[in-house]
Amino acid sequence: MDIALEAALKIAVILFIVLTFLAYLVLFERKILGWIQLRVGPNRVGPWGLLQPLADLLKFIAKEDVTPDTPNRVLFALAPALALVPPLMALAVIPFGSTIELFGRKIALQITDINVGLLYVFALGSLEVYGIILAGWSSNSKYSLLGGLRSAAQMISYELALTLSVAGVLIQAGTLSLSEIVHVQSGYYFGIIPRWHVFWYQPLGFIIFFIAAVAETNRVPFDLPEAESELVAGYHTEYSSIKFAMFFVGEYAAMFVVSALATTLFLGGWTGPGAERVPLLGVLYFSLKTGFFLFVYIWLRGTLPRFRYDQLMQFGWKVLVPMAFANIFISSALALWR
Amino acid sequence: MILQQIPANPIYGYLPIVVFLIIALLFPLVILGLMKLFRPENPQPPKLSPYECGVDPQRDARERFSVRFYLVAMLFLIFDVETIFLFPWAVIYDRLAIFGLIEIAVFIGILIVGYYYAWRKGALEWV
């Protein structure tokens, strides 16, 4: 019971922090996109637009929730929940920092450290497809169906490259537990270069992972599922009010999870100078690294045009997958040589 | 005494995940239920019809779609199963050493033959 209570408290705190962070991520995205396009971005609600997320939330709550004329009303209501729950649950194994002492007991800054943590994240990542394809199917709209189908095909194609690209990290770390993968990366080469996997010897794996992660979360330049110029809004065309908000939060939560995962697997997670002694410093390092990835997401959105669908599928299957295979061979050969 | 031994069993690491699952499932359900109190409800036939740029929907949305989607799904199924086989191999690679390298060369070799076949058959082409 003790464990369950502690877990529930940790989950509540982490969910609260992450969801607030995601709300502000949307604001920062709009701000940064505004600056890229020489606009000011949102600046009306509160100073510097800081109350904008609150205003958006109120609007989502107050709007009518239209359920279109569809034979699948249950699936229509279920789909946003299915899109929201898996990315939130993936937070359970992300190590946010080392261990802190609170009220005389040691508390790990990770909800739970299961020994198949990475597999767990990928399993939940596969579940995300269901929410999207069910949304596309149950909306009974042509745009939704096409967007859902496209999205499903894209996500499963890039999931392959995503899972293959981390095999190299596993060879090097020898464990699936995310906290141990972080520990493997603590310390320095020659006393100066951090022992992060991105430097030695997974730079190729890192590149594949990041590209596949952008495609997996349906973001620019891989945002074909919601290509607004041809599909209106893709799979969530028919969704409104709080159900639309759930898709929205689900997408941003997925972005956060893959950024945190990239940090953990390739950039040493919460490790950094002094992070072992001052745990909050580790949390800061983790936030900075994850924030960097999230900034790159927004940067890409402000910079790149959208792929064509056949280019997208060919890039996934004919470039990323062979590169991931090559990475596995290089990694296993290097591991042997070491 | 027993309480101190409990965390040693790795299966108890999944207890927080069960708690998380309950919280995560309640989260959208509570939101959906709670929001019903606030929002207006005013359904009308034109509003409820599927969106089609303002005109009345032409035919049903559930029509035939490209067979390519099935093909991608099947290819994914095959390759994803292979990927899962790679994970345990990668974790104990340090202990397998040269045996592991040869073994995986054979395994991925067979996989690449299948991949090459799919490529030559045009299964990876879109359009």
pLDDT tens per residue, range B85-97: 888 888 888 888 7
Cβ contact, residue pair A111, B28, below 8 Å? no
> Residue A22 is part of which domain span?
1-63
Poorest-pLDDT segment among A86-100, A151-165, B56-70, B106-120: B56-70
How much is the pLDDT for A46?
82
> At a CB cut-off of 8 Å and minimum separation 6, what does A99 contact?
A106, A107, A108, A109, A279
| Of A7, A310, A332, Cβ closest to residue B15 | A7
Cβ contact, residue pair A113, B31, below 8 Å? no
The percent of residues above 70 in pLDDT, for chain A, comes to 99
The percent of residues above 90 in pLDDT, for chain A, comes to 22
Q: A321-337 and A142-165 helices cross at what angle (nearest 10)? A: 20
Does the residue B126 lie in any domain? no
Does the residue B49 lie in any domain? yes
Of A132-136, A271-275, B46-50, highest mean pLDDT = A132-136
Instruction: Provide the shortest C-alpha distance from residue A59 to chain B (in Å).
Output: 10
Cβ contact, residue pair B92, A7, below 8 Å? no
Domain boundary among A18, A40, A63: A63
Task: Assess whether A30 and A99 both reside in one domain.
Answer: no
Task: Assess whether A30 and A140 both reside in one domain.
Answer: no
Does the residue B125 lie in any domain? no
Of A186-190, A194-198, A264-268, B36-40, highest mean pLDDT = A264-268
Instruction: Provide the shortest C-alpha distance from residue A302 to chain B (in Å).
Output: 27
Cβ contact, residue pair A153, B38, below 8 Å? no
pLDDT at B4 over 60: no
Instruction: Provide the shortest C-alpha distance from residue B109 to chain A (in Å).
Output: 10
**pLDDT tens per residue, range A133-174:** 888 888 888 888 888 888 888 888 898 899 999 988 998 888
From CA A86, how far away is CA A124, in angstroms rounded? 5
User: If we measure between CA atoms, which residue out of A84, A79, A56, A57 comes closest to residue A68?
Assistant: A79
Does the residue A170 lie in any domain? yes
**pLDDT tens per residue, range A184-229:** 888 787 777 788 888 878 889 999 999 999 998 888 888 877 767 7
CATH number at residue B100: 1.20.58.1610
Does the residue A106 lie in any domain? yes
Instruction: Provide the shortest C-alpha distance from residue B124 to chain A (in Å).
Output: 7
Task: Assess whether A10 and A55 both reside in one domain.
Answer: yes
Task: Assess whether A160 and A291 both reside in one domain.
Answer: yes
User: If we measure between CA atoms, which residue out of A51, A42, A66 comes closest to residue A140?
Assistant: A66
| Of A67, A157, A174, Cβ closest to residue B72 | A157
How much is the pLDDT for B2?
45
Domain count for chain B: 1
Mean pLDDT of A13-25: 90
Tally of CB atoms within 10 A around B79 = 22
Mean pLDDT of A293-297: 92
Task: Assess whether A307 and A247 both reside in one domain.
Answer: yes
Tokens of A190: 């020659």
Domain count for chain A: 2
Task: Assess whether A51 and A78 both reside in one domain.
Answer: no
Mean pLDDT of A289-310: 89
Measured in Å, how far apart are chain A's first and last C-alpha atoms?
Answer: 46
Query: Chain B partners of A333 at a C-beta cutoff of 8 Å?
Result: 101
Q: Which residue has the higher pLDDT, A228 or B16?
A: B16
Q: Does the beta carbon of B70 lie under 8 angstroms from any beta carbon of chain A?
A: no
Instruction: Provide the shortest C-alpha distance from residue B57 to chain A (in Å).
Output: 9
Alpha carbon distances (Å) from A49 to A20, A55, A58: 15, 10, 15
Q: Give the angle A91-A96-A102 at the CA atoms, nearest 5°.
A: 110
Cβ contact, residue pair A328, B42, below 8 Å? no
Task: Assess whether A142 and A194 both reside in one domain.
Answer: yes
Which residue from B minimizes the CA distance to A332?
Answer: B101
- A-B contacts at Cβ under 8 angstroms: 211
Instruction: Provide the shortest C-alpha distance from residue B101 to chain A (in Å).
Output: 7
This model of the complex carries an ipTM of 0.83
Task: Assess whether A54 and A135 both reside in one domain.
Answer: no
Alpha carbon distances (Å) from A197 to A185, A204, A262, A269: 7, 10, 10, 10
Does the residue A176 lie in any domain? yes
Cα A255 to the center of its chain, rounded Å: 3
Task: Assess whether A49 and A79 both reside in one domain.
Answer: no
Q: Does the beta carbon of B23 lie under 8 angstroms from any beta carbon of chain A?
A: yes
Cβ atoms of B126 and B68 within 8 Å: the answer is yes
> Residue B41 is part of which domain span?
2-120
Query: Chain B partners of A158 at a C-beta cutoff of 8 Å?
Result: none
Optimal mutation site among A93, A171, A172, interface B, most CBs of chain B within 10 A: A171
Does the residue B113 lie in any domain? yes
Q: Does the beta carbon of B69 lie under 8 angstroms from any beta carbon of chain A?
A: yes
Q: Kindly tell me the burial class for residue A187, based on how many C-beta atoms sit within 10 Å of its own C-beta (0-12, 13-18, 19 or more).
A: exposed
Q: Which residue has the higher pLDDT, B49 or B8?
A: B49
How much is the pLDDT for B37?
81
pLDDT confidence bin for A232, thresholds 50/70/90: confident
Does the residue A68 lie in any domain? no
Average model confidence (pLDDT) for chain A? 86
How much is the pLDDT for B7?
53
Cβ contact, residue pair B83, A7, below 8 Å? no
Which residue from A minimizes the CA distance to B70?
Answer: A153
Tell me, yes or no, if the pTM score tops 0.80: yes
pLDDT at A1 over 90: no
Task: Assess whether A192 and A256 both reside in one domain.
Answer: yes
Task: Assess whether A17 and A153 both reside in one domain.
Answer: no
Does the residue B71 lie in any domain? yes
Which residue from A minimizes the CA distance to B45?
Answer: A69
Does the residue B67 lie in any domain? yes
Poorest-pLDDT segment among A208-217, B58-67, B106-115: B58-67
Query: Chain A partners of B21 at a C-beta cutoff of 8 Å?
Result: 89
How much is the pLDDT for A100?
79
